[in-house]
Amino acid sequence: MPQADDARAHETRADDAQAYETRADDVRAHETQVDCAQAYETRAGDVRAAGPRRAAFDWTEAEARRRADAGLVRALRPRAADSDLLDLAGNDYLGLTRRPEVTGAAAEAARRWGAGSTGSRLVTGTTLLHTDLERELAAFCGFEAALVFSSGYAANLAVLTALGGRDSLIVSDAANHASLVDGCRLARAGTAVVPHADPEAVRKTLEAHPGRRALVVSDSVFSVDGDRAPLADLAAACRAHGAGLVVDDAHGFGVLGDGGRGAVHGAGLAGDEDVVTTLTLSKSLGSQGGAVLGPARVIEHLVNAARTFIFDTGLAPAAVGGALASLRLIAAEPGLAERARTVATALYERLTAAGLTAARPDAAVVSVRSPSPEAALRWAADCRERGLAVGCFRPPSVPDGVSRLRLTARADLTDAQIGRAVETILETAPAA
């Protein structure tokens, strides 16, 4: 069968041709590798001739020297489980983190649900505890819905990136927390930074961008000086221009508003259709995590669009259980919020009466000014040696460049402990 033989011969020639092309490709690839190797050897010889090779992260040593020269070196200081220090440095505003009801609920949640959530919220990371906490948070604070995140930082990033965008405008207070600043950056929106606590500046900025989708974002209580934002005036500016208001209530929730329902609730804005609030579970609730509260349609949008929700592992059950127990304690003991504010006022009045410069607290943060970063660091260290833990804020953590001691007023502090704290701070204060 000549035709069959011809066909087989054609196939054989085709196979031979493909094999030849394959071998030719192999030869060309080998020649390329040889050329690359020779070029590499040439470059390596040039580098050796130029002197010792610099490691990739050598530059960090120069950065470390600059930080040391400026007195801005930070270091981790592990704390013991049982410490004799009087703690005015942490953010446990209501003194709930060690309450037996809270630790017991956290332990029971871990026993029942496991040490971790096992996955993202949209896969296996949502337990019935998560939904219970979201429902009770929303109800307590006066919002339609809530969504729990692994941290307050993640919650802020979620809101700004999912509600912002390239064609939108974000108007941000100059003293906002770093998580809000980073959220503005990641949102890829046009960002206008306005003077601190200035509703008129917000209004003018919105007027300059008519018809543009816009968000105004502000802390409710600013973490450096503890001053409160003019939320009602900010909301009025937003409504006049169709903008949404995003409020980070990390330092207001649990301390301000009716029974600790937060600064947004206290300003009469909770549940409004154009207001979204974020908060942390790690301050007044004494646990860990964060949450966003707002209209149900906004929460539904975050579930589908917020990357720090979709791609992050869900909050561990123990943290959820502890936060839920704390929330129920706050609801049952509404006097905790007022006590925290009373302690803050007492610290402020006694320290300023003795001649120190401090910001009048609107919530539970008392900020005492220091002459310099180095003086603040020594002051905090001297307090610690005498059994008092205080916060030390230095640049770049402070937007105005002024170093401070940051004191946390806690609802569970006794009058004797307040007196001891004031005495220690005064005795160790640096010369002006």
Strands 169-173 and 190-194: parallel
pLDDT tens for each residue of 338-389: 999 999 999 999 999 999 999 999 999 999 999 988 899 999 999 999 999 9
The pLDDT mean for the chain works out to 90
pLDDT tier at 41 (50, 70, 90 boundaries)?
low
| pLDDT tens per residue, range 192-202 | 999 999 999 99
What's the pLDDT band for 77 if we cut at 50, 70, 90?
confident
Q: What percent of the chain stands above pLDDT 90?
A: 79
Q: What value does the mean pLDDT take over residues 309-318? A: 98
Q: CA–CA distance from 259 to each of 253, 328, 337 (Å)?
A: 10, 12, 6
pLDDT classification of 17: cutoffs 50, 70, 90: very low
Give tens-digit pLDDT for 134-167.
999 999 999 999 999 999 999 999 999 999 999 9
Q: Report whether pLDDT(52) > 70.
A: no
The total of other beta-carbon atoms located within 10 Å of residue 371's CB is 14
Confidence of residue 1 (pLDDT cuts 50, 70, 90): very low
Which of 6, 62, 84 has the alpha carbon at shortest distance from 387? 84
Predicted local confidence at residue 48, as pLDDT: 52
Question: Does pLDDT of 80 surpass 90?
Answer: no
Of the pLDDT bands very low, low, confident and very high (cuts 50, 70, 90), residue 82 is confident
Can you give the pLDDT at residue 183?
A: 97
At 141 the pLDDT is 98
pLDDT at 399: 67
Sheet strand arrangement including 358-359: 86-88, 388-393, 404-408, 365-369, 358-359
Name the pLDDT band for 187 (thresholds 50, 70, 90). Answer: very high
| Residues 203-213: tens digit of each pLDDT | 999 999 999 99
pLDDT above 70 covers a percentage of the chain that reads 88
pLDDT digits (tens, 9 = 90+) for 258-291: 999 999 999 999 999 999 999 999 999 999 999 9
Q: pLDDT confidence of 12, banded at 50, 70, 90?
A: very low
d(CA 325, CA 198): 37
